[in-house]
Structure 1
Amino acid sequence: EGSYYQATQLAVMGTSSLSLHHPPPLLLLLRLLLLLPFVTTQTILNITNRCPYTVWPAALPVGGGMRLDSGKTWTLQVPSDTRGGSVWARTGCSFDGKGSGSCQTGDCEGLLACKIDGQPPYTSAEFSLNQYNNNSFFGISLDQGFNVPMEFLPMPVKGQGGSGCRKGPHCGANITSQCPSELKAPGGCNSACTVFQEQNNGMYCCYESQCEPNKYSAFFVRMCPEAISYSSDASTDTSFSCPFDTDYQVIFCPPVNLTSSPPSPPNSADLRPLSSPPSPPNSADLSHIHLFHHTSKKNTTTP
């Protein structure tokens, strides 16, 4: 009996010693998990240059910028909860070995790796990921003008073959060659806000509230109907959404759709204001559309 008691005590002591020096497997696993870095889901964004010339794409808030020769692709991994992201092409650039220089269009304070938005004119791909109802929203904006044709397409949803996702916007017109004379800029076509700014009480810039379309936004709408042409453009034709786990590709100088005729050059009659502003969006189904689109900014070279 004494031997049994001693054996029992030894067994208990051994178990206690084991629990102190060798934690149970589950506890050990939890401790290991705490040591691992927190991993966020990433969205793939492929940026492809199909222009017959070099561009210097910029991307915010992730990516910065780089040189992209014709036919090359730049792949970014963007956090899947990114809001207010943008991608644009810079043209006519020259940089030194330290990444300092300048661009004719889209320049961002002379840096190769952008930290702020570019100087107009430039065509912009804008997006907010995993937002309203677990959807991502994206579009092409001409709010800062135009410099390079662009297409912004979803890639197939993982495991779903792309179901539940609309096509992306396409803006393949050569707007620069048909730009109204008062909006022309070296290498691109300015927005009316950039050119006129405070004139007519800032009617072209929509700083604080919604504004109506005008003869200049009508020109951009006719050239690229799937792109946002002014800050209050809430048309369902310019807002696109996909499930949160979709990857995307931005294509500079996409193939021209030969099945549709190109826009005719504008004339004075065509540049009249639209008959009425677009209908206000239904709050139930379009409350998300400005998640990716920022309001027009005063783009000036002076403070």
Structure 2
Amino acid sequence: MKFALVALAIAAGASARTFTVYNNCPFTIWPGMFTDLNVAQNVPSQPNGWEQAAFQAVSFSVPNNWKAGRIWGRRNCNFATNPGPNSCLDGGCNGGLVCDSRTGTGVPPATVAEFTLQGAGNQDFYDVSLVDGYNLPMSITNNKGCHIANCPVDLGPNCPSQLKGPFDSTGFPVGCKSACVAHLASDPNNDPNCCTGSHNTQGTCPSSGVQFYSYFKSNCPNSYAYAFDEPSGTALWTCNSALNADYTITFCP
């Protein structure tokens, strides 16, 4: 298995971390990245989207205080015509290959790596989110011994029928929507699966009221499986920011 390393603008010094995105899948993916500029203006050195071949790694610098950042994978993309959110079978974004800096958050279902560096208490916060569903196995590791966040299981084939899809040209499911994204509740404005309306607090939106929560959490216990999953103790992870950890996001770990 050939490992190809593409080093892109790795900055030296203590002002930045090195993030590495490794595609361990046996097929090409198109990673997307987004920073909520309403939270902070600090952005990584890498463009917000790129093509990445199987078994290739891409490394880039990320500001020490990167806030509200996310990285995810897109599958089965073709940007030749009508570049935008529908250019990929899942995970597509406004902007086409390079996701729009203001609106390019990605179309569900998609497994998402989420980061806030130098957050409250001088902690890095990170998680693998399945809140909007799943499209690729993923892990977040680091070089300082902090906890692994991951969803290492392919949730597509055994996904409940109400959530399964989209499907590729062979009929294989390349995604598994969350119950929220699948709109299983009758009123999207008062939805226990989405924690909206009268369910918009931790106390009024327990995991027991979220349809198919156990499917995601039992298969991927170290993931963020719904909007208020932190009490599970295995959803949101922290690492002391003083360690200046470098992070690796691996698809198909």
Pairwise TM-score range, normalised by the shorter structure? 0.7 to 0.9
Shift of 1:174: 1.2
Counterparts in 2 of 1:145-294, with a 5 A limit? 145-155=133-143, 162=144, 165-186=145-166, 187-196=174-183, 199=186, 201-207=190-196, 208-210=200-202, 211-213=205-207, 214-234=210-230, 235-244=232-241, 245-254=244-253
In structure 1, C-alpha distance between the alignment counterparts of 2:184 and 2:114, rounded to whole Å: 22
AA aligned to 1:71 is: F
TM-score, normalised to structure 2, is 0.77
Deviation at 1:132, TM superposition (A): 1.9
Amino acid at match of 1:134: N
Distance across 2 between alignment mates of 1:146 and 1:75: 24
Long gaps (5+) in structure 2: 1-12, 36-43, 167-173
- Tell me by how many angstroms 1:98 deviates: 10
Cα deviation for residue 169 of structure 1 reads: 1.2
Separation (CA, whole Å) in 2 of partners of 1:239 and 1:105: 24
What are the equivalent positions in structure 2 for 1:47-62 lying under 5 Å apart? 47-61=21-35, 62=44
Q: Is the contact between residue 17 and residue 64 of structure 2 (CA under 8 Å) also seen in structure 1? A: yes
Q: Which residue among 47, 70, 81 is the counterpart of 1:86?
A: 70
Per the alignment, residue 52 of structure 2 pairs with 68
User: SS at 1:70's partner residue?
Assistant: coil
Aligned-residue offset at 1:180: 0.2
Instruction: Give per-residue Cα distances to partners, 1:227-280, cap 9 Å, x unaligned.
Output: 0100000122122111221110000000xxxxxxxxxxxxxxxxxxxxxxxxxx
Counterparts of 2:76 and 2:146, CA distance in 1: 34
- Alpha-carbon distance in 1 for matches of 2:137, 2:87: 21
User: SS of the counterpart of 1:241?
Assistant: strand
Answer 1 or 2: which has greater helix percent: 1
Report what 1:14 is aligned to: none
User: Hey, what does 2:131 align to over in structure 1?
Assistant: 143
The CA distance in 1 between the partners of 2:15 and 2:150, in whole Å, is 27
User: What residue identity is the alignment partner of 2:146?
Assistant: R
Q: TM-score, normalized by length of structure 1?
A: 0.65
Indicate how the Cα distance of structure 1 residues 197 and 80 shifts in structure 2: closer, same or farther if over 3 A, else same. farther
Q: How does 1:56-135 map to 2 (within 5 A)?
A: 56-61=30-35, 62=44, 63-96=47-80, 102-109=87-94, 111-115=96-100, 116-135=104-123
Deviates more, 1:236-245 or 1:175-184: 236-245
Given that 2:23 and 2:29 are in contact with CA atoms closer than 8 Å, whether structure 1 keeps it comes out as yes
SS across alignment from 1:221: helix
Larger gyration radius, structure 1 or structure 2: 1
Residue pair 2:31, 2:51 contacting (<8 A) in 1 also? yes
